[in-house]
Structure 1
Amino acid sequence: MNPTPPQAAGSLNRFLNAIEAAGNKLPHITMLFIWALVITLVISLALSYVSFDYRHPSTGAVIAVTNMLAPANLLDLVVNSVKNFMGFPPLGITLVATLGIGIAEGSGFIHTLLRKLMSYIPRASLTPAVVIVSILCHVASDSVYVILMPLAALMFYCAGRHPLAGVACSFAGLSGGFTASYTPSVIDPVMQSFTQAAAQTLDASYSVNVLCNYFFALGGTFFVIAACWYVTDKIVEPRLWATMPLDKGLENDPDLRITPVSALENSAYRKACTVFLGLAALLFVLCWPEGSMLRAPDGSLTSPKAPVMQAIVPLIFIFFSLPGIVYGYAAGTFKSSSDVIKSMEEVMKMLLGFMVFAFFAAQFLYVFGKSGIGTLLAISGAEFLKDLGMPSAGSLLGIIIFTGMLNLLITSATSKWAILSTIFVPMLMMLGISPELTQAAFRVSDSAVNVCTPMFPFYPLLIMYCQKYCKQAGVGTLSSMMIPYTLALLVALTFVLYAFWGIGIPIGFDSGYVYPPVK
């Protein structure tokens, strides 16, 4: 029988238990938005009788709250409910991108890609390599948790290292470092859509580039790798060996071996990669001419008006679906077009909950926007911050801290930014801070805190992976493993953001630090 590992410090246990208890008392995230809708309707009624001294910075109009419970406004809400749902910013973006990723996953292309990447990694470089692969997986859908985490644990185990450190390391790189990325990912257009909509409540002509945080995300990868590498090798793994012994008999488990990529899979993989590279070359050729139809009228490729920027989501679909189809037919995982369709249907099942959430979130955003409460909060908040005399750097740090605290209970970036963007973006625009910088500050703590809260939706799955090697592992085990990553990633990503800001390095395409933007 394995000895019982020492319990974590009492204060840490109490803290984790408090977070878990508070989180478990929250209703479903969709129910939160239903309540938010109801509360906003009631508040709009109360505030409609109050006169405010604030004026809209662009129009000069006096700020007033509209009573959304008035019969005419309620009728508008009902009439426009379908339109609101269809116009919910991340809905179409998420569905289209996920269809392509579903084909690549259903064919086995992504799984083979991960296995090949892992097979080239020497033991000494295992930790940074796992983090790098995890960052590469930011472009995939949530189903990558089912592939990457157990594979990383197995890689660590086969290398004579603690498998739970593999789970922690890959989890930190994938979710904790989600802000950092080598390539554009599905979350970029989702965040951009909310940010632009929020900015346009103050400035109707303002546009936000889909890749407005790309340079920051790319620069952050180096610091995420360093932070996760240090925490894994110097803090987490030594503690695991001391407190979490592996179950006996694991060496006899035939499943704890890495299956090599077969010759057929190798051949299919090469064909799929050839298609991917061919698509990249074709896109380059189409974008290269100065008169390319993919460029903006001024010739820019990175402007929000450039068709290539507007087509980021369809491009993600194409770059995943076509190589996935080629791989599937070459490897035999796709026998007919019905299998391709089925792979898209299967991945869509994962989004059913999101679509239900999107309907009610869309109605909330409609009421929140039309009532004028969002504008009131933004302008009054900006005036409050002005009265405090806080520097811009302090205001951004406040957003990072507040988002991190909120993320302990609500981990969905879309859910939080759907609300917070309507307040933070225009509020900080009033203080001269660009929407792009506000979005970057939000994303710092949104990702870093994900990994340490039991409210993260994949926690039960990750605990199951841990229990494959240590049956006594539980919520406290995973949370205590991940807290050092959260602290390290918060410090690292905050440092990168402020360093970019201080030096004046652009955080993304068509992105500045001040509002109005400097021409």
Structure 2
Amino acid sequence: MEENQPVKKGFINKALDFIEKKGNKLPDPAILFFSLMIGIWIISALLSNVAFDVIDPRSQAPIQVINLLSGTSLAAFLSNMVTTFTGFAPLGIVLVAMLGVGVAEHAGFINAGLKSMLSVTPKALLTPMLILVAIVSHTATDAGYVLVIPLGGVIFYAAGRHPLSGIAAAFAGVSGGFSANFVPSGIDPLLQGFTQSAAQIINPAIELNPLNNWFFTSASTLLIVAIGWYITDKIVEPRLKSVAVEVNADEQPTMDRLLPKEKKAFWAACLVMVICLLALFLWAAPADSALRAESGDLAALSAPLMRSIVPLIFIIFLIPGVVYGLMSGTFKKSKDIIDSMTKSMSGMSYYIVMAFFCALFIDAFTKSNLGALLAIKGASGLKALALAPEITIVGIILLTAFVNLFIGSASAKWALLAPIMVPMLMQLGISPDLTQASYRVGDSVSNIVTPLMPYFPLVVVYCQKYVKSTGIGTLVSMMIPYSIAFMVLWTIFLLIYWALGIPLGLQSSYEYIAP
């Protein structure tokens, strides 16, 4: 019968299946990072004697590739290996946050919260709500990677949907929509600082507002939610219908009603969480608060509050988790609390191994100067083309997205590109505000498809909780539709936004007029 015949796959699904199949044939991520590190060593040795006529904007000297196979470099590699690993920023962020979240999870507090949320959230709105929460999580720096993305899988599983589609939707919001947010965060003044310094190469008197892209990033939130919603429900989740989910019996979020004792424990834990947040607000509110930066700004990256986000996540989940566990009976003695932390850390063992090799690779790529050479060469080539302003903006987005495949840090890339891009476009009459906005689009859209992004292996681990066979290819094939759609539609959105003359942010402009 016709209804028993296999359904024919369209071109897109065939392409994604091909990417998944080939991608999963890549070595284990840890081996991949190790192999790439060896490759960087060899390439650095081959190029170390080549004289490049490329000026490093950070030092104003010709860029030089460092030979990582020299005796000095190898000795430094061995002597610094431990600190390179322990100093790998995502490692501490993930482990500290997961200690607190693990207590809340194994106590049952998170599960109870999900049941309560799902009971009032229409199933049809679950995807956009998750993506919106993921976008807002940018305000807390990297918290979304360790909190929102795994919860995306849990929420979708509890709602009877495929957990990998929840992880994909959350990952798309946290990382693919990184520059879409209506809540200002520390990344705004960070990027503005590089932009202003670059602009002062042409005009030493120019000053830019730290929120010079705020209106655009706020409007972009609606765009990213809409695109992510469609991609998740119409492309990603249908492809996952045939993928079996295996979850340990003791880790399955259920949709059973909360027992009276659990309800009482849940609301008591929520009250404790609110009290913690209120205490934090009262501490941060005064103008002379110790949580503020020297300038008095709470959102500055140098502010103790912004530097304490991860410890605060640990505390704000640990305390309510303990309260819920004791009141619900999940925790009967203090050892149960420590056991929940231990269980949480045991799930991170694979990530720790991958993080070790990832840290060594990123350190080698940075110290070799190959990343800087790649970025500067690309920017110089774009400048030499002398394209029309609109095409140049598109070129900046594409170049940034490409460089982002190799250099994950938003600030590191902009430190390299801003001194070239900003003055170049100022001479074409394009304002630094618009150049920065185009950079932010390109900096976001390719985050979710590069295994070299420090948190990418962690997302693979989250997926493996539900589908053991998940590999790099699985995750990349899930995220490619988001990446392509974000790149095309977000670029068009910026061009339309520009054509309509809607302000990019506070005290921003589209045109630069020389004084």
Q: Structure 1 pair 72/325, CA: closer, same or farther in 2 (3 Å)?
A: same
How many equivalent pairs are there?
450
User: Which secondary structure does the structure 1 equivalent of 2:337 belong to?
Assistant: helix
Task: Name the structure 1 match of 2:151.
Answer: 144
Amino acid of the residue matched to residue 132 of structure 1?
M
Change (3 A) 1:218 1:171: farther
Q: Distance in 1 between matches of 2:495 and 2:86?
A: 37
Deviations 1:460-480 (A, max 9, x none): 76679xxxxxxxxxxx99999
Alpha-carbon distance in 1 for matches of 2:266, 2:12: 46
1:144 Cα deviation after fit = 2.8
The corresponding residue for 1:471 is none
| Alpha-carbon distance between aligned partners in 2 of 1:141 and 1:279, rounded to the nearest angstrom | 20
Cα gap change, 1:212/1:84 in structure 2, threshold over 3 Å: closer, same or farther?
Answer: farther
1:441 alignment counterpart? 442
- What's the CA shift string for 1:5-30, capped at 9, x where partnerless? 65233534531332123202211122
Aligned mates of 1:224, 1:120 — CA distance in 2: 24
In the alignment, the residues of structure 1 paired with residue 362 and residue 88 of structure 2 have an alpha-carbon distance, to the nearest angstrom, of: 9
- Which residue in the other structure is 2:171 paired with? 175
Q: 1:289 aligns with which of 277, 286, 289?
A: 286
In the other structure, the counterpart of 1:105 is 105
Alignment match, 1:431: 421
Relative to 1, partners in 2 of residues 1:281 and 1:479: Cα closer, same or farther, differing over 3 Å? closer
- 2:474 and 2:66 map into 1 onto residues whose CA distance is 49
Aligned counterparts of 1:512 and 1:92: Cα–Cα separation in 2 = 37
Structure 2 CA distance for aligned equivalents of residues 3 and 480 of structure 1: 28
Match of 1:258 in 2: 255
The aligned counterpart of 1:55 is 55
How does 1:334-349 map onto structure 2 within 5 Å? 334-349=331-346
Task: Give the residue type in structure 1 aligned to 2:444.
Answer: R
Q: CA deviation at 1:269?
A: 0.9
Q: Which letter maps to 1:337?
A: S
The equivalent residue for 2:380 is 383
Mapped to 2, the partners of 1:67 and 1:136 lie a distance apart of 44
Deviations 1:314-373 (A, max 9, x none): 111111111111111111111122111122222222322222222222222332232222
3-state SS of paired residue (1:431): helix
Q: Indicate how the Cα distance of structure 1 residues 481 and 37 shifts in structure 2: closer, same or farther if over 3 A, else same.
A: closer
Secondary structure of residue in 2 paired with 1:9 = coil
Q: Distance in 1 between matches of 2:213 and 2:93?
A: 18
Distance in structure 1 (CA, Å) of the matches to 2:267 and 2:316: 15
User: How far apart are the structure 1 equivalents of 2:171 and 2:68?
Assistant: 38
Partner Cα separation in structure 1 for residue 462 and residue 284 of structure 2: 39
| Counterpart amino acid of residue 55 in structure 1 | I
Cα shift readout 1:479-507 (whole Å, capped 9, x = no counterpart): 99998766655556556666788744459
Would the alpha carbon gap of residues 98 and 504 (structure 1) be closer, same or farther in structure 2, given more than 3 Å must change?
farther
Say if 1:381 and 1:12 are closer, same or farther in 2 by CA, change over 3 A.
closer
Correspondence for 1:90: 90
Contact in 1 for aligned 2:33/2:357 (Cα 8 Å): yes
1:22 counterpart residue number: 22
Which of 268, 273, 277 in structure 2 is aligned with 1:276?
273
For 2:159, what is the secondary structure of its paired residue?
helix
SS at match of 2:174: coil
Offset at 1:182? 13
- The 5 Å alignment of 1:95-244 reads 95-121=95-121, 125-133=122-130, 135-136=132-133, 139=144, 140=147, 143-144=150-151, 147-153=154-160, 170-171=166-167, 173-179=169-175, 220-227=220-227
- Secondary structure at 1:344 match in 2: helix
Partner of 1:160: none
Mapped partners of 1:369, 1:446: distance in 2 = 18
Residues 429, 503 of structure 1: alpha-carbon distance in 2 compared, 3 angstrom cutoff: farther
> Which segments of 5 or more consecutive residues in structure 2 lack a partner in the other structure?
138-143, 199-210, 243-251, 423-431, 511-515
3-state SS of 1:14 partner:
helix
- Higher mean C-alpha displacement, 319-328 vs 348-357: 348-357
1:395-414: CA deviation from partner (whole Å, max 9, x where unpaired): 3431576489x6xxxxxxxx
- Deviation by residue 1:188-221 (Cα, 9 ceiling, x = unmatched): 99x99x999x99xx9xxxxxxxx99998776555
Match of 1:472? Answer: none
Per-residue Cα deviation, 1:80-112 (whole angstroms, up to 9, x for no partner): 111111111222122111211111111111111
Q: CA 1:183/1:380 → structure 2, altered by over 3 Å: closer, same or farther? A: closer
The aligned residue for residue 429 of structure 2 is none
Counterpart of 1:334, as a letter, is: F
Q: Secondary structure at the match of 2:61?
A: coil
d(CA) in 2 for partners of 1:477, 1:380 = 32
Q: CA deviation digits over 1:56-88, x for unaligned, max 9? A: 224322222222211122111111111111111
CA deviation map 1:295-315 (0-9, x unaligned): 111211112221111111111
Letter in 1 for 2:288: G
Q: Is 1:320 paired with 2:317?
A: yes
- Does the CA contact (< 8 Å) of 1:436 and 1:512 recur in 2? no
**Separation of aligned partners in 2, 1:81 and 1:267:** 49
Residues 379, 399 of structure 2: 8 Å contact kept: no
| Structure 1 Cα separation of the partners of residues 259 and 326 of structure 2 | 15
On the 8 A contact 2:379/2:420 being kept in 1, the answer is: yes
- Contact kept in structure 1, 2:128 and 2:226, CA below 8 Å: no
Partner AA of 2:159 in structure 1: A
TM-score, structure 2 normalization? 0.71
8 Å contact kept, 1:286–1:292:
yes
Distance in 1 separating the partners of 2:450 and 2:124: 20
Residues 1:3 and 1:462: Cα distance change in structure 2 (over 3 Å): farther
CA contact under 8 A between 2:227 and 2:485: conserved in structure 1?
Answer: yes
Deviation at 1:176, TM superposition (A): 3.1
Residues 246-296 of structure 1: CA deviation (Å, up to 9, x unaligned): xxxxxxxxx998311111111111111111111111111111111111111
